[in-house]
Amino acid sequence: DIQMTQSPSSLSAPVGDRVTITCRASQGISTFLNWYQQKPGKAPKLLIYAVSSLQSGVPSRFSGSGSGTEFTLTISSLQPEDFATYYCQERYNTLMYTFGQGTKLEIK
Amino acid sequence: DVQLVESGGGLIQPGGSLRLSCAASGFTVSDTYMSWVRQAPGKGLEWVSDVYRSGSTYYADSVRGRFTISRDDSKNTVYLQMNSLRVDDTAVYYCARVEFTLGCFDSWGQGTLVTVSS
C-alpha cells in the first residue's frame, strides 16, 4: 500500500505569511494527488486536484505543485479563514485511496 | 446544487449493527461513483468503501467482510451497512462523491457520528 506523509504535522503562522505544506508518497503516484481543507466540525473541502488544478471557487492564493513522490500546497498570503487542517490524498491504485495524516495550520 | 445528507449514526454496543444512509440531490448516484470516508475523533481521514456506477463495490481492509455498501437508485441514496461493529469503528462517517478520472472527492456530506461503546 502507498503511504502518504505530510510535513509539518502542525504549523503556526501569522496572517499574511506564505506557507508551504509538503506531502511525500512512498512510491510514484503520477498526478493522482489532491488536497483538502477541513475546519473544525466541518466536512473536508476539495481545494486542489491533479496536483495543481484549483477547484472551482477556491481562492487563487492556494496553489499546488510537485511530481512523482513529492508534492506541495502553498498559500501565498494567509487569510484568517485559512486556518484549518489540510490533507493530501492519493488515488494511484484505483481500488483504494490514502490520505496523509494532516497538517494543522494555526494562527501565530 | 449538489447536496449529500447522511443519517443513521448513533450509539451502538460492540458487535452490533447500524445502517447509514446518504441521500443525494442535484445529481444521480447511479451515474457516478460514491464513497464513504470516516474520521475517528481527533484523527485523520480514512477511506472506507466505494460503489461504482457499474454497481461494483470495494472496501478498505479494516472493514472488508463487516461493512456493505449499496445503492438504491429509486431513492438516489447510498447506504453503508455496518455489522460486527468494534470500538475502533467509532468515527464521523462522511459520504462523498468521487470524480473517478481524477481520483478525488469533489462533494461531501456533513457527516454522521457512529459511537461504538459498551
Q: How many CB pairs under 8 A join A and B?
A: 58
Is residue B47 pLDDT above 80, yes or no?
yes
- pLDDT (tens digit per residue) in B66-105: 999 999 999 999 999 999 999 999 999 999 999 999 999 9
Question: Per-residue pLDDT averaged across A86-95, rounded?
Answer: 91
Question: Mean pLDDT lowest for which of A48-62, A83-97, B7-21, B37-51?
Answer: A83-97
Mean residue pLDDT of chain A comes to 96
Mean residue pLDDT of chain B comes to 97
Please give the Cα distance from A97 to B104 (Å, whole number). Answer: 9
- pLDDT (tens digit per residue) in B15-27: 999 999 999 999 9
**Contact (Cβ atoms closer than 8 angstroms) between residue A40 and residue B111:** no
Q: What is the pLDDT of residue A94?
A: 75
Q: Do B44 and A101 touch (CB under 8 A)?
A: yes
What percent of chain A is modeled with pLDDT above 90? 92
Q: Does B52 touch chain A (CB under 8 A)?
A: no
* Minimum distance, in Å, between the CA of residue A15 and any CA atom of chain B: 25
**Short-list B46, B101, B42, B35, CA closest to A31:** B101
- Nearest CB to A97; choose among B47, B106, B108: B47
Q: What is the pLDDT of residue A53?
A: 98
Is residue B109 pLDDT above 80, yes or no?
yes
Cα B73 to the chain's mean position, in Å? 16
Q: Do B105 and A90 touch (CB under 8 A)?
A: no
What percent of chain A is modeled with pLDDT above 70? 100
**Contact (Cβ atoms closer than 8 angstroms) between residue B7 and residue B20:** yes
Q: Do A99 and B35 touch (CB under 8 A)?
A: no
Q: What is the pLDDT of residue A95?
A: 84
Q: What is the pLDDT of residue B8?
A: 98
Q: What is the pLDDT of residue B98?
A: 96
**Which chain B residues are within 8 Å of A97, Cβ to Cβ?**
35, 47, 103
Strands A85-90 and A98-99: antiparallel
Q: Cis ω on the peptide bond leading into residue A8 (within 30° of 0)? A: yes
**Which chain B residues are within 8 Å of A6, Cβ to Cβ?**
none
